[in-house]
Amino acid sequence: MIDIRIEKTTSPKAKPADESKLGFGKVFTDHMFVMNYTEGRGWHDARIVPYGPISLDPSAMVFHYGQEMFEGLKAYRGKDGKARLFRPDMNAKRANASNERLCIPQIPEEDFVDAIKALVKVDEDWIPTAEGTSLYIRPFVIATDEFLGVAPSKTYLFIIILAPSGAYYASGLAPVGIWIEDEYVRAVKGGIGYAKTGGNYAASLAAQVKAHDDGYSQVLWLDGVERKYIEEVGAMNIFFKIDGKIVTPMLNGSILPGITRNSVINLCKSWGMEVEERKISVDELLEAQKAGKLEEVFGTGTAAVISPVGKLRYKDEVMTIGDGGIGKTSQKIYDTVTGIQWGTVEDPFGWSVVVE
């Protein structure tokens, strides 16, 4: 069990009065978790302190070469008033997979989860209560050595911040338009695509701006070598329902292994659906669409859980998926996963973790 010093704020902030105006990632709670790493000493000085700016030397390595890792999960306020996390052990494991790739020291999984629980407990009153709202949790590690040489840092900060966030869907699931990107690529095998790190997002911005300018909300990436095979969407994994089967790109090293992705695969299998993790080419999608077999397309991620895709654009072709609305399977998965998260649906998988 990690030993955490707790220093509470003497000037708590007013909590947002109107939970319908929370949006995402703009409001932060009263406290944050901070822990230092020093080579030779390991992780030390775990503490929960008042939320506020941190001071870093302009030469801190993270600013120059991007040695950083982040995670994202949520705490949900159940109808029973309890705070719940969704599979936080998976975030701990993935954090360490990212850490390993980025030469950041490992964080004991138990400490990672305990730190989240302790911070959520301290700021529990910040978990919003309106339907669909949640407390977004952002753990991250940054390299802090004051040095302009290219090498792994010898010192790090592990920080967790919390952001009360509004309902992703104000009025039920809403389909989005997606732009299949054929110019830029996000990641290649052997690179950092499977790590949750800022660099992948820096690489994505130009395509996102282009897609937005054309009225599409997200980019769907193709593989970095042949630009033929489907990878994933901005901050979501992607699923297709083709002729009754659920198909999603296999984890190949350049795709982020989403926890929602893993949950959706397990859930569909538990319902007796056929699920295939494999390569899917754009051509296969175009053909399935022409044959009337592309039944549903949806993204999966912590933010939206399920994001139904109504429209897919590839070069000069625009495919309308189904009737452009929300597929039956998409809706069923959404209802089940969010039900487990909010504690209103039975959880046979043991995914939901109450914060005591």
* Binding residues for ligand PLP (CB under 6 A): 72, 196, 200, 232, 235-237, 256, 258-261, 300-302
Cβ closest to ligand PLP, residue 144 vs residue 197: 197
Cβ closest to ligand PLP, residue 32 vs residue 69: 69
Cβ closest to ligand PLP, residue 24 vs residue 290: 24
Cβ closest to ligand PLP, residue 187 vs residue 282: 187
Work out how close the CB of 201 gets to ligand PLP at its nearest, in angstroms, rounded to a whole number: 7
Work out how close the CB of 65 gets to ligand PLP at its nearest, in angstroms, rounded to a whole number: 20
Work out how close the CB of 319 gets to ligand PLP at its nearest, in angstroms, rounded to a whole number: 22
Cβ closest to ligand PLP, residue 127 vs residue 259: 259
Q: What is the three-state SS of the chain?
A: CCCCEECCCCCCCCCCCCHHHCCCCCCCCCEEEEEEEECCCEEEEEEEEECCCCCCCCCECHHHHCCEEECCEEEEECCCCCEEEECHHHHHHHHHHHHHHCCCCCCCHHHHHHHHHHHHHHCHHHCCCCCCCEEEEEEEEEECCECCCCCCCCEEEEEEEEEEECCCCECECCCEEEEECCCCCCCCCCCCCCCCCHHHHHCCHHHHHHHHHCCCCEEEEECCCCCCEEEEECCEEEEEEECCEEEEECCCCCCCCCHHHHHHHHHHHHCCCCEEEECCEHHHHHHHHHCCCEEEEEEEECCCEEEEEEEEEECCEEEECCCCCCCHHHHHHHHHHHHHHHCCCCCCCCCEEECC
Work out how close the CB of 219 gets to ligand PLP at its nearest, in angstroms, rounded to a whole number: 11
Cβ closest to ligand PLP, residue 4 vs residue 303: 303
Work out how close the CB of 20 gets to ligand PLP at its nearest, in angstroms, rounded to a whole number: 24
Work out how close the CB of 26 gets to ligand PLP at its nearest, in angstroms, rounded to a whole number: 19
